[in-house]
Structures are given as C-alpha cells and as structure tokens.
C-alpha cells in the first residue's frame, strides 16, 4: 500500500481505526510523497520527519490500548506557517519572525492532534499573508502544481498546492479576504471559510491581533473531497477557551428546503465567460440533484462590504503594518499596502464606528436572503487563476486583481461561511464556484457542495507540472 497518500482522509482514517494499516505506514507514505514532489512546488517550508513519525506512533499506541484515536486517526495534515506550533517558527512569511519559536500551540494544532491527525508540515504563505499570490523573502515562491505560470493562490497558497499534490490529505488555511477560498480555486481543490467563531484560533506567542483581523479572519480546511472538508471542520470546531470569538453552535442546523440562489454577475463583478459558465453548470448540477435553483439578478451589497473589510484589514494600524513591510523589504507586501493606501488610510475612530454600524445593516440584508434560500452560488473570482505575481506587474494589473476578488473580500466583513467547490478545468486552469450560506450553516454549504461535486469529477492528487 505504497500510495496511501492518494486516499481520502475519511478512507485513510477508517483503515487506521480498523487496524488494516498503521498510522506509521500512513505517515511514511506521506513523507515519501512530500520528498518526491515538494521540491517542484515549495508548498511545505518546514517539516521534521522524526516528529511526524513520533506523532504517528502515539496514534498507533492509542489504538493498541483500545482507545478512540479520533475522527482523523492517523491522517497526515498540513498547517499554515502563520500559526503557533510548539518548537516551530511562526514566520507568517517574514524574515523578521524567523526566530518566533512557539512555546504553546494555536488551538488549531491542539484540535487536529486531539482528533488523531498527524501534522506533516507547515505550508508557505506570502509575507504577512497579504496577497492572492505566495512568495516571500524567507521561504521563496510556491508554485501551482497544475501550471507553474499561474498563481497557487494566497495567502494559503502552500496549503492549496500541497493538498492538490497529495502532500497531506487535509490542509489548514486562514482567510481574511479569500485566503482559503482562492488557493482552493487556483489549485483545483475545495476550501471552506467557516463562520466567524466556528473554529477556535489564537496565537499565544505573538501579540494580540488588531480588532479588524479579529473580526474578519478565520481558520479552516482545504481538501480534495467535500467529505474531507466536512470531517476536518468537525475536528477543528472543537471548543478552546482561549478564543473569545468561539461559538458553541451545532454543526448541523435545522432542515430547510433545498433551494439555491444563483448569481452570475454579483454587484458588477462582470466575470469572464468561463467563470459564468462554471456557475451556470453548478446550478445545473444542483437541479439534477433535486435542488430548486433560481437565478437572481444581484446579491446584497458586495462592493461596500469589500471596501469596509479592506479598511478593517489594512487600515487598522496601517502605519505600523507599513513600517513592518518596509523593514522586511518584501515587494509583494509593499505593493499591497502602498497600492491600497488611498482607500484605507487614515482609518480613525469615526471610521471604525461607521464600519461597525454598516456591518449590522449589511449583515441583516444577507440574513434575510438566507431566509428564502439555503445557499447562494456565485463566482469565487471574476477571472480564471491569475498569471503568477500579476499584482506586481503594474498599477492596472494591481487594480484588476482586486476587482476580480470582490466576492472573496466582501463576505468576511459580515462573518458568513463560504465554500469553494472545484468544478473542473479550463485548459490547465482550475475553475470552481463559491457557495455561501447563513451564519453557522456550513452544513448547507457542504450539502450543496456535495451535490455540485457529485455532478463532476472530484479532484485527485496530481503530479506537479514542471
């Protein structure tokens, strides 16, 4: 069983629990796959085989004792390099943080381990996790395994590239403006941005985050099957008292009619034809699965929500963020901050007050939409995955990138869950759709995602293209 890395997380965990294979065998297979393909894509930037095998041995010992090994028994997973893990540097893509060695774990690490997962390695991100591209001055560039001329996405580009290539069965990512959903889209896998408060997360070894990131950033999973996204969410959503935003909401909400809204051109996004076709195709897949699908002309305001989210993300403590980027010297981070300065700075007390006031108004509009529909299906991006580093080419390209990402940037401001479902390929480019639902209704996103996935061919591990 040399190719255990090809299996879904659900199938692998079942084999480990039944003692048909050991966690050690699963870890050995995962390490071999990492060694074989990571040099081509630079997705994992820190891993320690001895530590991986030690974790696997602990799972095997628990099973031998008759203990429940957990939902993810022996499943190799990756985590993003911007969360604390004891003994590892939380670089967040920065040379400045190369010595930020964690002495305590982020709840994401603890909840993965409690579920029996084996943490295989730490994945790359852009400096300060700012961009939809993944390069930095400490770890280098991550490549898209389907086409190295395209971005792997960002900021969880290492996560998307790794899981698409069979390095781990589930990848952890973070998302403040599309950083889970876009790498999943670009690399041709699935990725869930959970509701704010669903997944406990906190870096105990770094300063407390500003209020903008606290309100808009979340952790969540990427995987090659929707079922694996589902079980990863179950593992990651366990309680941790260190995160005051965590909410004890049930993973399954009340049954509602299977009714989906479909929006091809939300708030003037003007997607390319291939993106529109993917959304229309997802609607047809849902209809064939028994869903009622209604095309709507528009959504509640996205552009205003995106503007406010950008202000909270980049405008909050803007000068301090710019000083860090200048000290680091990272060209991508500087391009991001300088390119958005006029839109986000200054962000004073009056602006904060208006942002929070408008958040309630905009969220109310979205909640009323989801009184009528279980889910909304719309583009992840207005374009197919971008040429790599497009945002650094010139001012027009920078604006093009930000315009195309409207639907990703907007929903974090109102705290809604969003699921990228990969639906296929256009040439070498992956394409997919975004499924959004009401707060704490990830179950509805996943139900629709499973129906869309079943109408096509689920993503399989791929050998990276050189």
Residue 366 lies in a domain: yes
- Mutual orientation of helices 226-236 and 442-454 as an angle, nearest 10°? 160
Going by C-alpha positions, the residue among 83, 75, 126, 74 that lies closest to residue 107 is: 83
Looking at residue 31, its pLDDT comes to 98
CA atoms lying within 13 Å on the CB side of residue 202 = 16
Residue 225 lies in a domain: yes
Residue 461 lies in a domain: no
Report the C-alpha gap between 85 and 88 in whole angstroms. 6
Report the C-alpha gap between 47 and 439 in whole angstroms. 35
Confidence of residue 26 (pLDDT cuts 50, 70, 90): very high
Report the C-alpha gap between 453 and 423 in whole angstroms. 7
| Residue 346, preceding peptide bond in cis (omega within 30° of 0) | yes
Residue 90 lies in a domain: yes
| Residue 163, preceding peptide bond in cis (omega within 30° of 0) | no
Looking at residue 466, its pLDDT comes to 80
Residue 444 lies in a domain: yes
Report the C-alpha gap between 92 and 208 in whole angstroms. 15
Strand ranges, E, within 138-205: 170-175, 190-193
In this predicted structure, the answer to whether residue 70 has a pLDDT above a threshold of 80 is yes
Give the global pTM. Answer: 0.98
Residue 466 lies in a domain: no
Looking at residue 1, its pLDDT comes to 58
Tell me which of 155, 219, 237, 437 is the catalytic residue.
Answer: 155
Q: Are 67 and 60 in contact (CB under 8 A)?
A: no
Tell me which of 8, 156, 165, 179 is the catalytic residue.
Answer: 179
Residue 464 lies in a domain: no
Report the C-alpha gap between 421 and 151 in whole angstroms. 18
Mean of per-residue pLDDT scores for the chain: 97
Average pLDDT over residues 77-90: 98
Residue-level length of the chain: 466
Q: What angle do CA 351, 192, 353 make, to 5 degrees?
A: 10
- Structural domain for 271, as ranges: 4-454
Q: In the chain, how many domains are there?
A: 1
Q: What is the pLDDT of residues 170-184, one digit of tens each?
A: 999 999 999 999 999
Share of the chain above pLDDT 70, in %: 100
Element (H, E) at 62: helix 49-64
Q: Residue 163: give its domain's CATH number.
A: 3.90.1300.10
Q: Are 165 and 371 in contact (CB under 8 A)?
A: no
Tell me which of 8, 17, 29, 80 is the catalytic residue.
Answer: 80
Task: Say which range, 23-27, 191-195, 267-271, 457-461, has the weakest mean pLDDT.
Answer: 457-461
Q: What is the pLDDT of residues 214-249, one digit of tens each?
A: 999 999 999 999 999 999 999 999 999 999 999 999
Share of the chain above pLDDT 90, in %: 98
Q: What is the pLDDT of residues 188-202, one digit of tens each?
A: 999 999 999 999 999
Report the C-alpha gap between 142 and 84 in whole angstroms. 21
For residue 137, count CB atoms less than 10 angstroms from its CB and return exposed for 0-12, middle for 13-18, buried for 19 or more: middle
Looking at residue 370, its pLDDT comes to 98
Element (H, E) at 426: strand 418-426
DSSP states along 197-245: TSS----TTSPPPPHHHHHH-EEEEEESSHHHHHHHHHHHTS--TT-TT
Confidence of residue 457 (pLDDT cuts 50, 70, 90): confident
* Residue 80 appears among annotated catalytic residues: yes
Confidence of residue 459 (pLDDT cuts 50, 70, 90): confident
Report the C-alpha gap between 172 and 112 in whole angstroms. 10
Q: What is the pLDDT of residues 131-147, one digit of tens each?
A: 999 999 999 999 999 99
In this predicted structure, the answer to whether residue 429 has a pLDDT above a threshold of 70 is yes
Going by C-alpha positions, the residue among 187, 121, 132, 186 that lies closest to residue 155 is: 132
């Amino acid at each position: 069983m040399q190719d255990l890395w090809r299996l879904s997380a659900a199938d692998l965990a079942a084999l480990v629990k039944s003692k048909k294979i050991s966690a050690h065998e699963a870890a050995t297979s995962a390490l071999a796959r990492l060694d074989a393909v990571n040099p081509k894509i630079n997705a994992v930037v820190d891993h320690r085989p001895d530590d991986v095998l030690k974790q696997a041995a602990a799972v095997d010992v628990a099973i031998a004792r008759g203990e429940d090994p957990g939902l993810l028994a022996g499943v190799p997973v990756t985590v993003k390099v911007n969360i604390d893990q004891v003994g590892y540097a939380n670089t967040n893509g920065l040379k400045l943080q190369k010595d930020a060695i964690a002495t305590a774990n982020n709840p994401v690490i603890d909840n993965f381990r409690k579920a029996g997962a084996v943490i295989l390695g730490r994945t790359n991100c852009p400096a300060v996790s700012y961009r939809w591209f993944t390069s930095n001055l400490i770890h280098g560039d991550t490549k898209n395994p389907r086409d190295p001329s395209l971005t792997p996405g960002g900021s969880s580009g290492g996560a998307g590239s790794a899981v698409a290539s069979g390095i781990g069965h589930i990848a952890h990512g973070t998302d403040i403006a599309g950083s889970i959903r876009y790498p999943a889209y670009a690399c041709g896998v699935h990725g869930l941005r959970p509701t704010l408060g669903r997944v406990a997360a906190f870096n105990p070894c770094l300063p407390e985050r500003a209020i903008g990131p606290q309100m808009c950033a979340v952790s969540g999973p990427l995987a090659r099957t929707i079922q694996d996204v589902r079980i990863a969410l179950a593992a990651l959503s366990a309680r941790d008292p260190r995160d005051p935003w965590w909410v004890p909401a049930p993973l399954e909400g009340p049954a509602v009619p299977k009714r989906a809204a479909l929006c091809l051109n939300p708030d003037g996004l003007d997607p390319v034809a291939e993106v529109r076709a993917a959304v229309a195709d997802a609607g047809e897949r849902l209809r064939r699965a028994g869903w009622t699908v209604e095309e709507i002309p528009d959504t509640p305001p996205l552009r205003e929500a995106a503007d406010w989210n950008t202000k909270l993300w980049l405008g909050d403590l803007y000068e301090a963020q710019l000083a860090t980027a200048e000290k680091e010297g990272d060209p991508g981070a500087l391009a991001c901050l300088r390119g958005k300065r006029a839109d986000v700075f200054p962000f004073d007390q009056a602006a904060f007050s208006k942002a929070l006031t408008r958040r309630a108004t905009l969220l109310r509009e979205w909640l009323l939409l989801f009184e009528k529909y279980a889910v909304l299906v719309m583009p992840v991006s207005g374009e197919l995955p971008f040429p790599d580093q497009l945002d650094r080419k010139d001012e027009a390209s920078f604006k093009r990138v930000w315009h195309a990402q409207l639907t990703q940037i907007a929903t974090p401001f109102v705290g809604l869950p969003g699921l990228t479902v990969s639906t296929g390929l256009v040439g070498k480019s992956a394409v997919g759709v975004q499924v959004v639902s009401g707060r704490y209704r990830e179950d509805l996103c996943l139900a629709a995602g499973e129906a869309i996935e079943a109408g096509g061919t689920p993503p399989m591990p791929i050998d990276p293209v050189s």
